Amino acid sequence: MDLADLASLQPQHLRALVPAYLASYIEDADLRERNLERITSRVRAWSDETCEELLRRLQELGSSERLYDPHPEARGLSRDWMRDVVEDVQIEGLEHVRDVPGPVIVIANHLSYVDSTAVDCALVWSGAEDVANSLVSIAGPKVYQDTFRRIATSCIATLPVPQSASVATDEAAVSMREVARRAIRSIRAAHALVLAGRRLLIFAEGSRSRTGHLGPFLSGVHRYLGVDGAFVVPLAIVGTQHLMPVGQDRLRPGRLALTFGTPIAVGGQPKDALEAAHGALASLLPPDQRPQ
């Protein structure tokens, strides 16, 4: 099923296709069958109106630099879908992201296409649905460019940002001036969101780590931190590199660990705060994921 097929789907098609499509991404046959049964029971209850709204959202997702919040049914679908893959969740430092006296930007390492989805699910299953529902993932254009990632992305809150020139593979036809305009719109939207109480989730490396080690942060990320009174909270992700490794397109069962670090006050020095966040994040990671 490609993106063009989405435009022609009717509600009954969506109810029939989505469970089988998502379950097909689970590698283990027994888990896949159990997952298909789980999510089919959820999707079967969707009304025609819900299906039509979800299809409309899938079509428009990522088309402009604004917040895309998930439909409640899409969010619930994602959290059911991942239950047969994430075997165990460990979370430390939730107080660091909850008890912050100002706007919050979470800076995380990037290991897999399912990082944002896994973080969302892990928080909910650990009793932190309030934190999960407040997160907005800053998303590059590639997460909207194939059917699987678009469906997965429709289940979480995202804010599109144009791809950085240093890691871009598909922005050649877009002028640097237009990329800059898009970036400014995204940054302004991000600032408004954190001032309104949402928490940004930024994968500051700009792309998934091919080695598993934390890489350098993109320098432009500091612009997202330029909010009065903001704090940066480092988030160490361990395990998603095994759930869906780079170069693989199937989900495998595995454990997931999230560790939130001590908030770092930006204090009008976003570049310094970003550098400090890199060091703090590195210290939270196990040795085999720290910078080489």
pLDDT (tens digit per residue) in 128-148: 999 999 999 999 888 888 888
Cβ count within 10 A of residue 254: 17
User: Could you tell me what percent of the chain has a pLDDT over 70?
Assistant: 95
Tens digits of residue pLDDT in 10-36:
888 889 899 999 999 999 999 999 999
How far apart CA 117 and CA 120 sit, in angstroms, is 5
User: Is 201 within 8 Å of 161 (Cβ atoms)?
Assistant: no
How far apart CA 138 and CA 39 sit, in angstroms, is 27
Q: What is the pLDDT confidence band of residue 3, given thresholds at 50, 70 and 90?
A: low
pLDDT at 13: 87
H/E segment holding residue 236: strand 231-238
Query: Which residues neighbour 103 within 8 Å (Cβ) at sequence distance 6 or greater?
Result: 194, 195, 227, 228, 229, 230, 231
Residue 155 in this model has a pLDDT that exceeds 50: yes
Written as six digits, the tokens of 274 are 């970003």
In the block, tokens 């998934």 appear at 208
Tens digits of residue pLDDT in 85-128:
999 999 999 999 999 999 999 999 999 999 999 999 999 999 99
- Provide the CA 134 distance to its chain's centre, in angstroms: 12
More confident position, 178 or 209: 209
Indicate the range of 24-38, 143-157, 202-216, 263-277 predicted with least confidence.
Answer: 143-157
CATH 3.90.1150.10 fits 64-289, yes or no: no
Q: Does the model's pTM come out above 0.75?
A: yes
| Residue spans of alpha helices (H) in the chain | 3-6, 11-23, 29-43, 48-60, 72-81, 94-98, 115-125, 129-134, 147-153, 176-195, 240-243, 270-284
pLDDT at 213: 97
Residue 169 in this model has a pLDDT that exceeds 50: no
